[in-house]
Amino acid sequence: MDLRSYIVARVLLMIPMILLLLSIVFLIVRVVPGDPVLLHFEKKASEEAMAEMREELGLDQPLYIQYIQYLAGLLRGDLGKSMAPGRDSISQQIFSAFPATLELAIYSMLIAVGIGIFLGVRASRSYNSIQDYIIRVFGTVVYAIPVFFLGMILLLIFSINLHWFPAGGRIKPLMEPNGLTFYFSTPPGGFLQVFTWSFLAGLICWVICLFVIKRKKIKFWSKGLLLSLLALSAGWIIYAFSAWYLMSCEVIHITGLYTIDSLLEGNIAKFVEAVRYLVLPSLTLGLMLSGVFIRLTRSNMLETLHLDFVTAARARGLKESSVVYNYALRNAFLPILTMMGLQFAMLLGGAILTETTFSWPGLGRYLVDRINFRDYTAIQGAVIFFGILVAIVNLIVDILYAYLDPRIRF
Amino acid sequence: MTIIGLVIVSSIIILTLIGPWVSPYDPTAINVAPPPNPSPPSADFPLGTNLLGQDMLSRLLCGGSVMLHVALLSVLFCFIIGVPIGLFASYAGGMLDKVSTIVMDSFYAFPGLVLAIAIAAMMGRGVVNMALSIAVVYVPSYFRIVRSQVLTIKELSYTEAARASGARGRTVLLRYILPNVVPSIVVVATVNFADAILTAAGLTFVGLGVGIDIPDWGWDLTQGRVLLPSGAWWVITFPGIMIVLLALGFTLIGEGLSELLTPRLEQ
């Protein structure tokens, strides 16, 4: 099987899985509880008010029609209306909350992988020593700590006692983005603007990658890097486009990631502020995930360090750090990549708790907030979004993996 | 490692069992402590009090039962649902196997906590509901391990021999295959205990716990978040450490067991 047919097969396989996922969520939220409206009001509203809400949300239809409407809405990117009095569009709310979660997720993953590789390599180099033992215990303990407990401890120490970092939120209220934003007063121009930006970004990434390939003559890393950067920019294009589409002509930020937006704006003060708010939440989430990466790196390195090519590199008189990081560690890259994909679901679960701990205005807090309001249509929307997100990330990782390791395809 | 884990877990279980008898105050009675509340650890209240004036030591001693119940029940549910489906589907093969694999895979791919939150939010409060919503998340891991084991064992010559000597499918499955699957299920279940405890704590933290009138470490932690700005470290620290210890204990047991059962790691 060549790469193209693998991708096609993988995408086709995803369709029944997503359909199943949607049906499961529909079953849980709409069918099992009987009547979500009754649950929402806890039987404390008049019959008219409940009938009105059912009609507005389309919950008065027979179940199979509701199911069809629900699937049809999803195809248009429409997750329905919230049960809150404003009846806001759930898709819109999710898309405005998503960048916050994405930003937290990206930095947490970087921290987790960074800590994981660093400590994992150290542990494997000092196999069965005190250092190895301490690092292994650290990895196990970090996994057993509820992520919100860790968050609260960090909050208590570094924010409330030492005042180094803010106690919660995403940025100072006055610094909410208002600088370089796109205004879509006329949709065609607005769309073009976003598209041009995203395209340029993708192009720049690509050119840089080509340059690196030429100069360094390293196939493996550059290929992976190239593909992931392309995937990133493609994802960005899709995001910008759908955000534009769903928010239909409203203000959006360039990326919605404050650390990147502030740099694009050239506003260093805002960047520093954004980072200060980001440190504790991403450290919390990153630490929780790092345990898995420590263990993975350690076991992979232990296997690799005994292989002949590592001995050969040593024999040629290369520096030990070069042998470890340039030769041995490169073999651990594939499992780490796979693990990053597998841990994405775990990351999102952790993000819900971390966001609640730090009042981080992302998707997780949105979900928790909606739970407290008994807003079942919004809960359904958020859960579906999480599910599809994970499915897409897994798809991308699988394809990347197949690209990097041809054995998978056969 | 297994020994340390066993010691931790069994001492917490014992603590929880004798808790109601040795705790100095009623863990759910409010205002047992004179204001101001929350007050830091003192001679009368060794672990301090919370906002409602409840004694934290009493709550610590009695609070483990919810976590342990939820974890035990959810593992039990997983066992009852996951193992039979895995056994029969993978032994029968064909369409049944394919369909159940796809269903389980889509559950598996779902972010666990999100699914548990959705189910718990729909089903309402209570230990059994919590355990059920956690069980749904972890059933696929049981199914997977059972399936992979059955597929291997099915081809081994001793099952072949059993079949050749005229044993019925049910006998082969229950007498010859099941006993060899059990060790790996036990490992999954122990690791699962830790995950179930952490998920239960997470559910409580987002407001889907068992409720105010039952002492619960998860609930104490959740309440402690509101008190953080006042610097009340004692409200979160002690219940938090208990949860960590419990989860750690089960993780250690699980790791020790899996090392015992798969000697490959020793080399």
In sequence order, the β-bridge partners of residue A81 are A89
From chain A, the residues in CB contact with B121 under 8 A are 371, 376, 379
From B121's Cα to the closest Cα of chain A, the distance in A is 7
Q: Are A398 and A11 in contact (CB under 8 A)?
A: no
In tens, the pLDDT along A327-346 reads 888 877 778 888 888 888 88
- The DSSP bridge partners found for residue A136 are none
Residues B150-168 have pLDDT tens digits of 888 888 888 888 888 888 8
B3 vs B239: CA distance, rounded Å: 23
Residue count (chain B): 267
Could you report the per-residue pLDDT of A208-243, keeping only the tens digit for each? 666 665 565 555 455 656 665 666 666 666 656 655
B118 contacts on A by Cβ (under 8 Å): 25, 28-29, 379-380, 383
pLDDT at A76: 76
- Express each pLDDT in A289-339 by its tens digit: 998 899 888 888 888 888 888 888 888 888 888 888 878 888 777 788 888
Task: Give the residue among B25, B146, B134 at the shortest CA–CA distance from B90.
Answer: B146
Question: A28 and B119 in contact by Cβ < 8 A?
Answer: yes
**Is the CB of residue B111 less than 8 Å away from at least one CB of chain A?**
yes
Q: Show Cβ contacts of residue B29 under 8 Å, excluding neighbours closer than 6 positions.
A: B54
Determine the residue among B70, B104, B106, B141 to mutate to test chain A binding: the one whose Cβ has the most chain A Cβ atoms within 10 Å.
Answer: B106
For the segment A164-217, what is each residue's pLDDT rounded down to a tens digit? 888 777 776 655 554 334 433 333 344 555 555 666 666 666 666 666 655 655
Among B105, B118, B243, the residue with its CB nearest the CB of A146 is: B243
Q: How far is A365 from chain B (nearest CA, A)?
A: 9
**Are A144 and B107 a contacting pair at CB < 8 A?**
no
User: Shortest CA distance to A127 belongs to which of A330, A312, A306?
Assistant: A306
Closest CA to A263 of A167, A172, A177, A165: A177
Whether B193 shows a pLDDT value over 50: the answer reads: yes
Amino acid B76: pLDDT:
92
Mutate which of A152, A288, A296, A356 to disrupt the B interface (most B C-beta within 10 Å)?
A152
Q: Is the pLDDT of residue A246 over 70?
A: no
A343 vs chain B: nearest CA distance in angstroms? 9
**Domains recognised in chain B with CATH numbers:** 62-261 (1.10.3720.10)
Q: Tell me the per-residue pLDDT of A113-152, one tens digit each, with 9 for 90 and over.
A: 999 999 998 888 888 888 888 998 898 888 889 899 999 9
Of B225, B233, B248, the CB nearest to A357: B225
pLDDT band at A283 (very low <50, low <70, confident <90, very high): very high
- Hey, are the CB atoms on A349 and B236 less than 8 Å from each other? no
Q: What is the mean pLDDT of chain A?
A: 77
pLDDT value for A193: 53
- Residues of chain A with C-beta less than 8 angstroms from the C-beta of B231: 156, 160-161
**What is d(CA B57, CA A291) in angstroms, rounded to the nearest whole number?**
31
Helix (H) or strand (E) holding A206: helix A187-216
Its sign, for the CA torsion A102, A104, A105, A107, is positive
Judged by a CB distance cut-off of 8 A, whether residue B76 touches chain A is: no
A20–B106 CB contact, under 8 Å = yes
Residues of B in contact with A368 (CB under 8 A): 206-207
State the nearest Cα–Cα gap between A189 and chain B, in angstroms: 38
Q: Distance (Å, rounded) from C-alpha B91 to C-alpha A163?
A: 60
**Are A358 and B228 within 8 A, CB to CB?**
no
Residue A157 tokens read as 């120490």
Closest Cα in chain A, distance from residue B175 (Å): 35
Q: What is the 3-state secondary structure (H, E, C) of chain B?
A: CHHHHHHHHHHHHHHHHHHHHHCCCCCCCCCCCCCCCCCCCCCCCCCCECCCCCEHHHHHHHCHHHHHHHHHHHHHHHHHHHHHHHHHHHHHCHHHHHHHHHHHHHHHHCCHHHHHHHHHHHHCCCHHHHHHHHHHHHHHHHHHHHHHHHHHHHCCHHHHHHHHCCCCHHHHHHHHHHHHHHHHHHHHHHHHHHHHHHHHHHHHHHHHCCCCCCCCHHHHHHHHHHHHHHCCHHHHHHHHHHHHHHHHHHHHHHHHHHHHHCHHHHC
User: What local confidence, expressed as pLDDT, does residue A209 receive?
Assistant: 63
Q: Facing residues of B11 across strands?
A: none
| Amino acid sitting at position B267 | Q
- Compute the CA torsion angle B215, B31, B47, B234 (nearest 10 deg): 80
- Closest-CA residue to B74 (of B63, B85, B66): B66
Question: What value does the mean pLDDT of chain B take?
Answer: 83
Other Cβ atoms closer than 10 A to A213: 16
- Counting beta carbons within 10 angstroms of the beta carbon of residue B137, is it exposed (0 to 12), middle (13 to 18) or buried (19 or more)? buried
Rounded percentage of chain B residues whose pLDDT exceeds 70 = 96
pLDDT at residue A245 greater than cutoff 80: no
B241 pLDDT more than 50: yes
| Res A178: pLDDT | 46
**Residue among B106, B201, B206 whose CB faces A17 most closely:** B106
Question: Cis ω on the peptide bond leading into residue B263 (within 30° of 0)?
Answer: no
Digit-coded pLDDT (tens) for B18-66: 877 777 777 777 767 677 777 777 777 777 777 777 777 888 888 888 8
A-B CB pairs within 8 A amount to 143
pTM for the predicted model, two decimal places: 0.80
